[in-house]
């Protein structure tokens, strides 16, 4: 095992935690199946310490969350996988028992509504990473990439609560109920949503459920799909002197709601990002055409942005339905439509004629 000189703080290696006693024999650390490292007097946040720990040992960080007042001599604990996991799990049991609801270290549960980003795990924010490592239970959506879930703590329970478009295997009321129930048990709950939870992520319903129950709740922003799509295309969502307004819209409206009013959203000088619009492309185009929006506008579609399955097509607005079919583009996707300010006069003259 490499020495602790790779860290800015003093690092002590513990082979196991047995009956609350520390084992500081570095040689035994090499043999033990579960290794626990504790950093003392480090000025680094734990997640940066964890990254350096991985670099120094070549082992995977599995768990964080125990503090010095919860286990003798152990501070900023990071559990790391060695040869196997069985011994490490048994060794850590006394500490985990202390942290269990009702134990000496029990704390009030809390809910974090966390943005998982567009797909790529390295686009996750540092705060989201910390909460995933500390979570007791994670309720995640269909579009959350498996690589993001791999960053969660080893012992975190993972519960799939995803929805397919047009199907509700997990109705929103049920999701609200389970996250509140878990937090009432004293558990740290992460509600993991793709992209940014505040952008078409039904965050309001879950916020209200938590607040009504008197449970602490926070929102952790994530990289939204429109930003990732534009980055994949190698351009910005807006351009100085060309588009000075950005509109975000979803084609997946609440059942019974009218279709979006595209005429009010898309005007000269606007970049419009339409989420989940592939299945309604023909209806969207028909509505825009009826509103007098030019069918020659530049249109770009990116599906599965930032992932290995990413696909992109570029066309005019009028060509969109056919381009989606030819390019085998499906949801999740973002349709980006740009209407430059310079086209305003020409459009007015075209309407007058």
Query: How confident is the model over 173-216, as pLDDT tens digits?
Result: 999 999 999 999 999 999 999 999 999 999 999 999 999 999 99
CA angle 184, 190, 195 (to 5 degrees): 145
- 227-245 pLDDT, tens digit per residue, is 999 999 999 999 999 999 9
The arithmetic mean of pLDDT across residues 318-339, rounded, is: 97
Helices (H) and strands (E) in the chain, counts: 13, 16
- 81-138 pLDDT, tens digit per residue, is 332 344 444 434 443 444 444 444 445 799 999 999 999 999 999 999 999 999 999 9
Nearest to 38, CA basis, from 4, 64, 75: 75
Look at the block and give the residue holding tokens 């513990």.
Answer: 14
- Identical fold, 110-222 and 226-352: no
* pLDDT recorded at residue 16: 30
The arithmetic mean of pLDDT across residues 4-8, rounded, is: 34
User: In the chain, where are the structural domains located?
Assistant: 4-99, 110-222, 226-352
Domain 226-352 has CATH 3.40.190.10: no
* pLDDT recorded at residue 347: 56
% pLDDT > 70, the chain: 65
End-to-end CA distance of the chain: 79
CA separation for the pair 131, 189 (Å, rounded): 9
Give the chain's mean pLDDT.
77
Q: What single-letter DSSP state applies at residue 253?
A: P
Superfamily, domain 110-222: Tetrapyrrole methylase, N-terminal domain (3.40.1010.10)
Q: Look at 59 and 99; give whichever has higher pLDDT.
A: 59
* pLDDT recorded at residue 176: 97
Reduced to 3 states (helix: H, G, I; strand: E, B; else coil), residue 233 is: helix
Does 141 qualify as catalytic in the annotation?
yes
Distance of CA 39 to the CA centre of its chain: 28
* pLDDT recorded at residue 253: 85
pLDDT band for position 162 (50/70/90)?
confident
% pLDDT > 90, the chain: 59
Nearest to 290, CA basis, from 266, 326, 309: 266
Q: How far is CA 174 from CA 51, 130, 168, 257, in A?
A: 37, 26, 10, 22
Task: Tell me how crowded residue 308 is: count the other CB atoms within 10 A of its CB.
Answer: 9
CA separation for the pair 268, 304 (Å, rounded): 28
Tokens of 159: 């519960």
Residue ranges with strand state E in the chain: 10-14, 17-18, 21-22, 34-40, 61-64, 77-81, 110-115, 137-140, 157-160, 188-193, 217-220, 245-250, 270-275, 298-303, 311-316, 333-339
pLDDT band for position 262 (50/70/90)?
confident
Does 155 qualify as catalytic in the annotation?
no
Q: Which of 141, 193, 196, 280 is catalytic?
A: 141
Is residue 277 a contact partner of residue 251, using CB atoms and an 8 Å limit? yes
* pLDDT recorded at residue 107: 53
Q: Which of 22, 155, 163, 341 is catalytic?
A: 163
Task: Tell me how crowded residue 168 is: count the other CB atoms within 10 A of its CB.
Answer: 11
Is residue 14 a contact partner of residue 24, using CB atoms and an 8 Å limit? yes
* pLDDT recorded at residue 50: 52
């Amino acid at each position: 095992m490499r020495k602790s000189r790779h860290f800015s703080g003093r690092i002590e290696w513990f082979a196991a935690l047995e009956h609350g006693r520390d084992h500081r024999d570095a040689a035994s650390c090499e043999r033990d199946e579960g290794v626990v490292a504790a950093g003392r007097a480090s000025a680094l946040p734990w997640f940066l310490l964890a990254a350096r720990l991985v670099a120094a040992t070549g082992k995977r960080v599995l768990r964080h969350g125990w503090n010095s007042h919860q286990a003798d001599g152990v501070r900023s604990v990071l559990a790391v996988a060695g040869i196997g996991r069985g011994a490490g799990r048994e060794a850590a049991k006394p500490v985990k028992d202390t942290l269990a609801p009702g134990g000496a270290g029990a704390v009030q549960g809390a809910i974090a509504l966390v943005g998982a980003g567009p797909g790529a795990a390295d686009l996750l924010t540092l705060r989201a990473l910390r909460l995933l490592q500390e979570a007791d239970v994670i309720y995640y959506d269909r579009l959350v990439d498996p690589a993001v879930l791999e960053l969660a703590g080893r012992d975190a329970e993972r519960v799939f609560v995803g929805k397919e478009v047009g199907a509700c295997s997990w109705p929103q009321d049920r999701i609200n109920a389970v996250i509140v129930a878990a937090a009432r048990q004293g558990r740290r709950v992460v509600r993991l949503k793709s992209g940014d939870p505040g952008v078409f992520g039904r965050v309001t319903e879950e916020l209200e459920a938590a607040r009504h129950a008197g449970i602490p709740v926070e929102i952790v922003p994530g990289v939204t799909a429109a930003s990732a799509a534009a980055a994949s295309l190698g351009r910005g969502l807006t351009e100085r002197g060309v588009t000075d307004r950005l509109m975000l819209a979803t084609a997946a409206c609440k059942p019974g709601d009218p279709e979006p009013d595209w005429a009010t959203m898309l005007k000269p000088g606007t970049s419009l990002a339409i989420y989940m619009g592939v299945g309604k492309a023909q209806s969207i185009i028909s509505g825009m055409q009826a509103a007098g929006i030019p069918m020659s506008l530049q249109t770009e579609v990116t599906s599965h942005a930032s992932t290995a399955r990413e696909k992109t097509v570029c066309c005019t607005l009028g060509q969109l339905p056919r381009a989606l079919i030819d390019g085998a583009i499906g949801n999740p996707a973002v349709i980006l439509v740009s209407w430059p300010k310079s086209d305003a006069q020409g459009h007015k003259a075209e309407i007058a004629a």
